[in-house]
Amino acid sequence: MGLDIGIVRQIGPSGRLVIPKEIRKMAGIMGPADLEFIVDYSCVILRKIEVCCACCGKAENLVKFKKRYICEQCKKELGD
Q: Write the pLDDT tens digit of every residue in 13-70.
A: 999 999 999 888 888 888 888 889 999 988 988 888 888 889 999 988 898 888 888 9
- pLDDT score recorded for residue 39: 95
Domain with residue 36: its CATH number is 2.10.260.10
- Among 63, 69, 65, 75, which Cα is nearest to 49's? 69
Residue 62: give the domain boundaries.
Answer: 52-80
Dihedral of CA 5/11/15/16: which sign? negative
Structural contact between residues 70 and 62, judged by C-beta atoms closer than 8 angstroms = yes
Q: 58 with 74, same domain?
A: yes
Are the C-beta atoms of residues 71 and 54 closer than 8 Å to each other? Answer: no
User: Residue 44 and residue 23: Cα distance in Å, rounded?
Assistant: 15
56 and 45 co-located in one domain: no
Q: What is the pTM of this model?
A: 0.55
pLDDT value of position 31: 80
Q: Are residues 37 and 62 in the same domain?
A: no
Residues 37 and 20 in one domain: yes
- Whether residues 62 and 45 share a domain: the answer is no
- Residue 59 and residue 45 share a domain: no
Same domain for 43 and 58, yes or no, is: no
Q: How far apart are alpha carbons 17 and 40 in whole angstroms?
A: 19
